Amino acid sequence: MSSNLDAVILQSDLDCLFKWCTDNKLHLNIEKCSILSYTRKAQPLNHVYKINDLVLSRSDAVTDLGVIFDTKLDFPQHNDSMVSKAYRRLGILKRKTREFSSEIALKVLYYAHV
């Protein structure tokens, strides 16, 4: 966004999107909609966007298809989340396989989760 005119154009596009969804009998879950701005500017334009007269919330990070995106497009939150999930799975495997004596079975379980 380089000017307020760009924000007005985006709002117009959001209005057209909502109208198209309504015309095609598609439900748009506005509670799940949010604004995430990618910028390097110290003072970005923070325009208030609406869909069907409901103000969209502004967010610092969003999850889309399992990937956590933030305003700087670096992924420390996503990486931390993936490492945490991997440790949880490893802990489950360790607890459930304590009594396994077959090295082959342990390798099969390990490779199934990697």
Whether residues 54 and 99 share a domain: the answer is no
Does the residue 67 lie in any domain? no
Does the residue 9 lie in any domain? yes
Helix (H, G, I), strand (E, B) or coil at 17: helix
Reference 27, options 59, 55, 52; nearest CA is 52
Whether residues 52 and 84 share a domain: the answer is no
Whether residues 80 and 41 share a domain: the answer is no
Strands 50-51 and 54-55 come out as antiparallel
Q: What's the predicted TM-score (pTM) here? A: 0.65
Task: Write down the pLDDT at residue 23.
Answer: 96
Does the residue 94 lie in any domain? yes
User: 1-21: per-residue pLDDT in tens?
Assistant: 778 899 999 999 999 999 999
Does the residue 68 lie in any domain? no
Does the residue 70 lie in any domain? no
User: 45-54: per-residue pLDDT in tens?
Assistant: 888 999 999 9
Range of the domain at 81: 75-113
Alpha-carbon distance of 62 to 69, in angstroms, equals: 5
pLDDT-above-90 percentage for the chain: 38
User: 51-71: per-residue pLDDT in tens?
Assistant: 999 999 998 888 889 898 888
Domain boundary among 35, 59, 83: 59
Whether residues 49 and 93 share a domain: the answer is no
Alpha-carbon distance of 38 to 73, in angstroms, equals: 7
Question: How many domains does the chain fold into?
Answer: 2
Alpha-carbon distance of 99 to 89, in angstroms, equals: 17
